[in-house]
């Protein structure tokens, strides 16, 4: 792996940038691996990276049906935060946020992590009670959080409409200053490059078509590029988790929905933080290119089509114009959808399955991006030790049988 | 936006409807007889099919009745809608 540095930038510039090496190899799949991660999104690549870097495993493959950065990793609104209500969830997301803080240095790749703060707006008295409760819970868990007034919001974000006569007036917000955004596809590229440098085979255009099991344990995979023998398989396939798990006869408590987002034409800098509103349901930030990045809610119906209904984005747009009247004549440039796997309690499923050697990492729903490094961290631990890390132990599939759900649906800041 | 054929009201915009999820999930007749795994399967586990799917919708801002739709979850095409437990109708 060629180390990236300012000096290298200059040297390659002098060579007209013609001699940059590939960021990762393009290997043929081997016949056998010690561990295989199915799904080459951010979570899967992070899992492979930490398997190699933290647990000293070698002979690891990541199988990706499409290309690196082409799935949900490149389709989200890039928000990173850890201000969840329940202790189990907030500790998991906080671990992730701590990994984000040093990730560029660790991976030697500028993932453009920008801790510009995230405001979660409250529009009703009940919103404000929930916000105060969540901020208090965050502080008890050592997570930075504060309640801010409409005046403080207006001072920080002059373009926001804090008028008392608005249809849904802003009564306050929670603010996590350490939260922010990151360059989403750079995260996938960075993990792919760093994992590759540790010997991980990243195999793109390789679709898993079957999971071989014998005597209750996994023995290998059937793929579009031949069979691969392995005793450990991590399924990290987001929206298609139910489809792939079904190959091993597993039923999951998931429903896949389209989730849409869109960006505007580039504007001069006017929003230097992230604003999310649960009540009117929309969230916005401004990318370094100047585009407003805006996310909608999920479409109501199950879908695998990577697109959704127009009234869903219209609804999100109404919320944005309500919050930021100056956006009303901004043109939207691109619109896309991703498929999110929503679990009954809005928390992920990470851990072992009834099939030995088969591990799950799914159910992140609308909010998986922020957890990318932490998700890989705990799944790598689970796969290496055949036992969950203490951070993901509460997130096992068995919680739906025991009833120990972690209900972040109404309690979290929801929009992601 | 989907155009959905309500079996009673005819073709209407999706925004008049609410989605009820997977069809054909019957509440167990005797919940006390189930173990935790069977109850979890009824309550939480879903087929989440890719492709042809049977699902229920409610015409919330219309006749407020539930009905069954057969829809492809990749193309989103609605192949048929019919009353709960009733006969298929043209969509």
DSSP assignment of A4-61: P-HHHHHHHHHTTT--PPPSS--PPPPSEESEEEE--SHHHHHHHHHHHHTT---SEE
ipTM of the complex, rounded to two decimals: 0.94
Query: Tokens 């219209």 correspond to what residue?
Result: A314
Q: What is the pLDDT, as a whole number, of residue B88?
A: 58
The pLDDT of A129-142, averaged and rounded, is 96
Total Cβ atoms within 10 A of residue A79: 24
Using the predicted structure, report yes or no on whether residue A145 has a pLDDT greater than 50.
Answer: yes
Using the predicted structure, report yes or no on whether residue A247 has a pLDDT greater than 90.
Answer: yes
Alpha carbon distance A168, A159 (integer Å): 16
The pLDDT of A244-270, averaged and rounded, is 96
Taken in order A288, A291, A292, A297, the sign of the CA dihedral is negative
| Smallest CA–CA distance from A301 into chain B, residue | B19
Using the predicted structure, report yes or no on whether residue A77 has a pLDDT greater than 60.
Answer: yes
Using the predicted structure, report yes or no on whether residue B87 has a pLDDT greater than 70.
Answer: no
Q: What is the pLDDT, as a whole number, of residue A351?
A: 97
Q: Are strands A349-352 and A226-230 parallel, antiparallel or unpaired?
A: unpaired
Alpha carbon distance A134, A149 (integer Å): 16
In 3-state terms, what secondary structure has residue B13?
A: strand
More confident residue, A376 or A282: A376
Kindly indicate the confidence band of residue A213, based on its pLDDT and cuts at 50, 70 and 90: very high
Rg (CA), chain B: 15
In this complex, is the C-beta atom of B76 within 8 Å of any C-beta atom belonging to chain A? yes
Contacts of B52 in chain A (CB under 8 A): none
Closest by CA to A154, choosing from A145, A166, A136, is A166
Using the predicted structure, report yes or no on whether residue A415 has a pLDDT greater than 90.
Answer: no
Kindly indicate the confidence band of residue B85, based on its pLDDT and cuts at 50, 70 and 90: confident
Taken in order B49, B51, B54, B59, the sign of the CA dihedral is positive
pLDDT tens, residue by residue, A148-181: 999 999 999 999 999 999 989 999 999 999 999 9
pLDDT tens, residue by residue, B30-76: 999 999 999 999 999 999 999 999 999 999 999 999 999 999 999 99
Would you call A296 exposed, middle or buried from its count of C-beta atoms within 10 A (0-12, 13-18, 19+)?
A: buried
pLDDT tens, residue by residue, A183-206: 999 999 999 999 999 999 999 999
Q: What is the pLDDT, as a whole number, of residue A407?
A: 86
What's A63's DSSP letter?
A: E
> Is the separation of the CB atoms in B15 and A311 below 8 Å?
yes
Distance of CA A215 to the CA centre of its chain: 34
Closest by CA to A234, choosing from A59, A361, A136, A143, is A361
Alpha carbon distance A180, A192 (integer Å): 23
Using the predicted structure, report yes or no on whether residue A338 has a pLDDT greater than 90.
Answer: yes
In 3-state terms, what secondary structure has residue B40?
A: helix
More confident residue, A23 or A278: A23
Contacts of A304 in chain B (CB under 8 A): 50, 73-74
Nearest to B45 among A240, A253, A304 (CB): A253
Using the predicted structure, report yes or no on whether residue A416 has a pLDDT greater than 50.
Answer: no
Kindly indicate the confidence band of residue A280, based on its pLDDT and cuts at 50, 70 and 90: confident
In Å, how far is A102's CA from the nearest CA of chain B?
Answer: 38
The pair of three-digit structure tokens given for residue A101, joined into one six-digit string: 């803080």
The pLDDT of A44-68, averaged and rounded, is 97
Closest by CA to A202, choosing from A330, A323, A322, A36, is A36
Q: What is the pLDDT, as a whole number, of residue A317?
A: 93
Q: What is the mean pLDDT of chain A?
A: 95
Q: What is the dihedral of CA A207, A209, A214, A219, to 10 degrees?
A: -10
| Percent of chain A at pLDDT exceeding 70 | 98
In 3-state terms, what secondary structure has residue A381?
A: helix
Nearest to B40 among A255, A303, A401 (CB): A401
User: What are phi and psi for residue A300, nearest 5 degrees?
Assistant: -65, -35
Using the predicted structure, report yes or no on whether residue A410 has a pLDDT greater than 80.
Answer: no
The pLDDT of A129-157, averaged and rounded, is 97
Q: What is the pLDDT, as a whole number, of residue A1?
A: 82
b/e per residue A30-54 (b: at least 16 CB within 10 A):
eeebebbbbbbbbbbbbbbbbbbbe
Most B CBs within 10 Å, among A249, A252, A304, A346, to test the B interface:
A304
In sequence order, the β-bridge partners of residue A342 are A255, A364
Q: What is the pLDDT, as a whole number, of residue A281?
A: 85
Nearest to A305 among B40, B46, B74 (CB): B74
Give the H or E element holding residue A234: strand A233-235
């Amino acid at each position: 792996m060629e180390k990236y540095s300012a000096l290298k930038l200059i040297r390659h510039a002098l060579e007209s940038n013609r001699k940059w090496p590939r960021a990762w190899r393009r290997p043929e799949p081997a016949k056998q691996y010690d561990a295989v991660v199915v799904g080459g999104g951010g979570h899967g690549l992070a899992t492979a990276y930490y398997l190699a870097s933290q647990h000293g495993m070698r002979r690891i493959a990541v199988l990706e049906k499409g290309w690196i950065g082409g799935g949900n990793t490149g389709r989200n609104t890039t928000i990173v935060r850890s201000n969840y209500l329940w202790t189990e969830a907030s500790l998991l997301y906080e671990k992730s946020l701590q990994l984000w803080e040093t990730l560029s240095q660790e991976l030697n790749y500028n993932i453009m992590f920008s801790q510009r703060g995230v405001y979660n707006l409250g529009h009703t008295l009940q919103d404000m009670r929930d916000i105060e409760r969540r901020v208090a819970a965050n502080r008890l868990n050592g997570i930075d959080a504060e309640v801010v007034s409409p005046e403080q919001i207006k001072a920080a974000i002059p373009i926001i409409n804090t008028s008392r006569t608005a249809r849904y007036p802003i009564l306050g917000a929670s603010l996590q200053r350490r939260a922010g955004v990151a360059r989403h596809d750079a995260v996938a590229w960075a993990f792919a490059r760093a994992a590759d440098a540790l010997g991980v085979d990243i195999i793109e255009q390789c679709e898993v078509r079957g999971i071989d099991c014998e005597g209750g344990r996994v023995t290998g995979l059937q793929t579009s590029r031949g069979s691969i023998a392995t005793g450990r398989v991590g399924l990290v396939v987001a929206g298609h988790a139910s489809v792939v798990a079904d190959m091993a006869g597993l039923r999951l408590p998931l429903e896949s929905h389209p989730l849409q987002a869109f960006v505007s034409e580039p504007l001069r800098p006017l929003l230097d933080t992230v604003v999310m509103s649960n009540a009117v349901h929309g969230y916005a930030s401004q990318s370094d290119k100047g585009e407003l990045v805006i996310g909608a809610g999920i479409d109501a119906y199950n879908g695998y089509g990577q697109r959704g209904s127009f009234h869903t984005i219209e609804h999100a747009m109404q919320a944005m114009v309500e919050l930021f009247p100056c956006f009303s004549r901004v043109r939207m440039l691109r619109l896309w959808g991703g498929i999110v796997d929503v679990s009954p309690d809005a928390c992920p499923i990470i851990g072992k399955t009834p099939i030995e050697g088969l591990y799950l990492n799914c159910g992140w729903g609308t909010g998986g991006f922020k957890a990318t490094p932490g998700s890989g961290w705990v799944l790598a631990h689970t796969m290496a030790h055949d036992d969950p890390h203490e951070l993901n132990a509460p997130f096992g599939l068995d919680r739906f049988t025991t009833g120990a759900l972690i209900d972040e649906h109404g309690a979290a800041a929801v929009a992601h | 936006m989907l155009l959905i054929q309500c079996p009673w009201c005819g073709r209407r915009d999706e925004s008049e409807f609410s989605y009820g999820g997977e069809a054909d999930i019957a509440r167990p007749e005797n919940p006390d007889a189930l173990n935790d795994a069977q109850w979890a399967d009824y309550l939480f586990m879903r087929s989440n099919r890719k492709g042809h799917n049977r699902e229920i919708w409610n015409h919330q801002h219309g006749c407020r009745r539930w009905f069954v739709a057969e829809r492809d979850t990749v193309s989103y095409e609605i192949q048929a809608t019919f009353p709960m437990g009733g006969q298929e109708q043209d969509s």
